[in-house]
Amino acid sequence: MAKTEKEQDMEDVRQPLIGMNVQELRSLVKELGMPAFTGGQIAKWLYLHHVRSIDEMSDISKVNRERLKQVYTVGCKDHIDAQYSKDGTIKYLFPTSNGKFVETVYIPDGERATLCVSSQVGCKMNCLFCQTGKQGFEGNLTTADIINQIYSLPEREKLTNIVFMGQGEPLDNYENVLRTTQIMTADDGYAWSPKRITVSSIGVKSKLKRFLEESNCHVAISMHAPTPEQRAEIMPSERAMSIVEIVQMLENYDFSHQRRLSFEYIVFKGRNNSKKDADQVIALVKHLDCRINLIRFHAIPNVPLEGVSDEEMEQFRNYLTAHGIFTTIRASRGQDIFAACGLLSTAKKSKEA
């Protein structure tokens, strides 16, 4: 049954329960005069059963459900648009708590299904090759906004992996991204292994160090050029934290066991695909246990960059592999619906709203 206007207005001012961990849920029920164990019950209803309303929490008394409903709502929001690629990729558009929109990409691949989640509306980093950066920055997503991309996904039960590689720089919204990964991996949350989650970053000073020490999730660093000079031409953030500084920091951590370190490398014709460039990549990461993921460039308007042929991609990969660097070419998915790497943007939707 559709919500009445009064019910919708009431829901808009209530706080979402999704995005809270079990400790926070226990605290809030105590403040409402309920037993602390009710917080654990709510956590199960949220992250195990994925209820859509507080009324579905049947082992909580009706009186306590009514108390909850005065201040809180589950907080899940359905997608408002979906685009389907010929390769099976689906791009969803979700509303956010600040009245904006964010894109989320579901990528099925045999027995594996990956969700590419967003952490911000737009992005501050303004990398030359990325459409999201052209949108500008329109706000951080709350933990509830991030969790909702998983919670409200129609294919949620099929997911095997999550990557923070959608809109925004995850470590620029550090607290909410970390909280999301903690809920995803907590026994009272989704109980996922950290090995199923990868957080990508261009390298944000102090936040990268914190993430390396406060999380066991996989790490992916956006390299895209092997020297500070080259990288600064396409990534303004290089001036704040150099790729050399990033690598030096990473050398202090162990990636030889369960946790994986990878570098993302979009290959641009005449900019970063020469033998010299490959040698510089090899020299840069020689002390790290890592892999390189080569990514095809997807053209965006008014950007003077060009991709390379499949043959050139393979030559670059083979050269790195021959010199001891485990290197893969990432399959390009969802390009026909602008869901591939670097193409996400909700600027048009934000203007229409």
Supply the residues annotated as catalytic: 103, 341
> How far is residue 41's CA from residue 156's CA, in Å, rounded to a whole number?
21
Neighbours of 119 (CB within 10 A): 27
* C-alpha dihedral (89, 94, 100, 104), degrees to nearest 10: -30
In whole angstroms, give the CA distance from residue 132 to residue 348. Answer: 11
The distance of Cα 108 from the centroid of its chain, to the nearest Å, equals 16
200: which strand partners? 220
Q: List, in sequence order, every residue forming a beta bridge with 139; answer none if it has no partner.
A: 121
From residue 161, alpha-carbon distances to 21, 106, 166, 181 in Å are: 21, 10, 14, 12
C-alpha torsion sign, points 27, 29, 30, 32: positive
